Structure 1
């Protein structure tokens, strides 16, 4: 799966989790860019991402991700 394909799927997940069809992601998107992306929603989001991609992140990975691009990179690495 390419970075672009991962980003497209992440866009679908974000729009569903945050119930906002207007969300457009870029590698630099952070929680500050999306209304409602707080610590509680982050847990929900990570769970949905893990389920959608059949991957599991360590707590260290989750805490180290600073933006959506790093999330996509982590997914790509786990899918290899």
Structure 2
């Protein structure tokens, strides 16, 4: 999961234009400057593009924090490799 977190952090840094951004599995939009509703949409699109996966809307609205997203990314990547 550390590798996934590192990759997601790089995507967030690029989108939010914050090279010093540090994410943890517990991070939420409230913790990150610039992570508003518009940027959330862009972040989700860029994460999907980066990992070559698709999130359903019902999956995205269940995310409580970055860790929830990491778990789903891991699951989708694992399912793709089977």
Residue 12 of structure 1: aligned partner: 10
Q: TM-score, normalised by structure 1?
A: 0.95
Larger RCO (CA under 8 A, 6+ residues apart): 1
* Runs ≥4 residues deviating over 2 A: none
Give the CA deviation at 1:4: 1.0
How many matched pairs? 78
3-state SS, counterpart of residue 29 of structure 1: coil
Segments of structure 1 that go 5 or more residues without pairing to the other structure are none
Q: Deviations over 1:3-49 (max 9, x none)?
A: 11100100100100100011111000000011111111100000000
CA-atom RMSD, angstroms? Answer: 0.5
Equivalent runs, 1:61-72 vs 2, <5 Å: 61-72=59-70
Which whole-Å CA distance do the structure 2 matches of 1:8 and 1:35 have between them?
A: 18
Asked if 1:25 is matched to 2:13, the reply is: no
Segments of structure 2 that go 5 or more residues without pairing to the other structure are none
Residue 32 of structure 2: aligned partner: 34
Q: TM-score, normalised by structure 2?
A: 0.93
